[in-house]
Structure 1
């Protein structure tokens, strides 16, 4: 089975790179083919990369608290490009004292498959991808775990 391709990037004007660097390393180690778009990525760049790389999922990071504005219309752009794939968003998504449950619901209503807060460990996203993409654990671990005989 070919590795599953995920598009990863920081949306909008956000320039926080540490989170996606950690995610990139963790996803790669778990057997995913990661296309890391870096920081300050537009919605159109995510859509173009997902199309160009025949992506299996799109992972959006936002740490500066303006994700709702940056993601408005994102799923409409994906649909316009005939892309129907899981979309994840994680980070510090809202400025202020928003209740996390309400923040998560707001992004789910916007169309995101999974919504993670800034305290989420990379393994949680990897486990969710395995479920959402119907990947058996052995399928991705086969390449990353040495065989001892």
Structure 2
């Protein structure tokens, strides 16, 4: 599967810091990152995933309205015949007190993995490597075991 990831902030959200950090972390980990920036529509995610043959689509949202922004997202991806792993992370719900409930909501919307805003990028990178069946390089294995 492709090591290209499409990354962006969905809907009307204009928070850029999180995806900038993710872009740097995923790039440093060897992924080819296509950063769509902020206020990205569902269709723009799908178009980029097709254009770049993405193995993963990573959605960020920090303003608390991700559920509304992601309604029908996987239908759009399916219509474009995209077979990619989908992740979402950030502050996904206003008053997000019970993250397990929030996680379940987004799993029901079709996301393969759901992360809160406190997730270390390395956790998402490790999960994506597992999901895409990418083995770490020798240097990475030595660094992790040290």
CA contact (8 A) 1:104 1:115 kept: yes
Count of aligned residue pairs for this structure pair:
142
Query: In angstroms, what is the RMSD of aligned CA positions?
Result: 1.9
Gaps (5+ residues) in structure 2? none
- The residue aligned with 1:4 is 3
Counterpart of 2:22?
23
Equivalence for 1:64: 63
**1:91-114 CA distances to partner (integer Å, 9 max, x unpaired)?**
000002441111000000100000
Deviation at 1:3, TM superposition (A): 6.8
**1:1-149 correspondence to structure 2 within 5 Å:** 4-138=3-137
Q: In 1, are the aligned partners of 2:7 and 2:37 still within 8 Å (CA)?
A: yes
Distance in 1, matches of 2:69 and 2:117, equals 17
Shift of 1:141: 5.0
Structure 1's unaligned 5+ residue stretches are none
Alpha-carbon distance in structure 2 between the residues aligned to 1:122 and 1:97: 20
Specify whether residues 126 and 88 from structure 1 end up closer, same or farther in structure 2 by C-alpha distance, changes over 3 A only: same
Report Cα offsets for 1:101-131 as digits up to 9, x if no partner: 1100000010000000000010011000000
Contact residue 62 and residue 90 of structure 2 kept, 8 A: yes
Distance across 2 between alignment mates of 1:53 and 1:67 = 24
Q: Is the 8 A contact 2:5 2:32 kept in 1?
A: yes
- Aligned CA distance change for structure 1 residues 33 and 13 (closer, same or farther; 3 Å): same
